[in-house]
């Protein structure tokens, strides 16, 4: 009996946990990621293109002496192109996942969201059945709009991570110049 009460208390505490998320927009869609994964958010600087890179990789940037790969999140998520041009609102969210720093281009960063973990619904099974959508952590309704919570540790597949690492190392050895 006492063990059952402890379990229900811990379940309730888990549902009441407040998560802080960084909200961002791509096209007409709203997304969010855990604020603890975000290293910083920057305006879009000059991005150096890399030959023979996957279509969703925009290139690399030099951020205070560190070469950071930059991914066009719209392309990575296979979202429709509303425009291929970056706007003044476009930002790069610098994310640190497992000591791997990567930049993700989004149309705009909206706000810091405080959400009770209990209102986040798991994604429908039909959405997560494919390997390409394992990065969808959940969906929640915030002020009448659906927000998709993304798990950035799963955005890239293992082979894509290896390729990014190789590209970053190649960029470092070539002194930041793409040949």
Number of structural domains in the chain: 1
Estimate the share of the chain in helix, then strand, then coil, as percent rounded to the nearest 5. Answer: 30, 40, 30
Residue span of the structural domain in which 87 resides: 17-173
Domain membership of residue 178 (yes or no) is no
Whether the pLDDT of residue 71 is over 50: the answer is yes
Q: Does 57 map to a domain?
A: yes
Flag whether 2 is in a domain.
no
User: Which pair of structure tokens corresponds to residue 5?
Assistant: 């009460």
DSSP assignments along 69-92, one per residue = EEEEHHHHTTPPPS-SS--TT-EE
The share of the chain scoring above pLDDT 70, in percent, equals 72
Q: Is the pLDDT of residue 15 over 70?
A: no
Q: Which two tokens stand for residue 85?
A: 């041009």
pLDDT digits (tens, 9 = 90+) for 104-147: 999 999 999 999 989 999 887 766 555 566 788 899 998 889 99
Q: Among residues 159, 31, 178, which one has the least CA distance to residue 104?
A: 31
**33, pLDDT greater than 60:** yes
The CATH number linked to 109 is 2.40.50.180
162: confidence class by pLDDT, cuts 50, 70, 90 = low
């Amino acid at each position: 009996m006492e063990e059952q009460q402890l379990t229900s208390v811990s379940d309730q505490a888990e549902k009441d946990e407040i998560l802080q998320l960084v909200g961002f927009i791509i096209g007409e869609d709203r997304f969010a990621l855990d604020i603890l994964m975000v290293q910083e958010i920057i305006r879009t600087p000059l991005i150096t293109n890399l030959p023979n890179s996957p279509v969703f990789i925009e290139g690399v940037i030099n951020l205070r002496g560190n070469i950071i790969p930059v991914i066009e999140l719209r392309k990575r998520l296979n979202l429709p192109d509303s425009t291929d041009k970056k706007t003044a609102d476009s930002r790069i969210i610098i994310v640190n996942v497992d000591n791997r720093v990567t930049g993700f281009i989004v149309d705009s960063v909206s706000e810091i969201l405080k959400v009770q973990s209990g209102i986040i619904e798991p994604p429908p099974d039909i959405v997560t059945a494919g390997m390409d959508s394992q990065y969808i952590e959940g969906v929640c309704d915030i002020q009448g709009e659906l927000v998709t919570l993304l798990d950035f540790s799963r955005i890239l597949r293992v082979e894509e991570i290896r390729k990014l690492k190789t590209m970053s190392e190649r960029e470092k050895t070539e002194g930041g110049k793409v040949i």
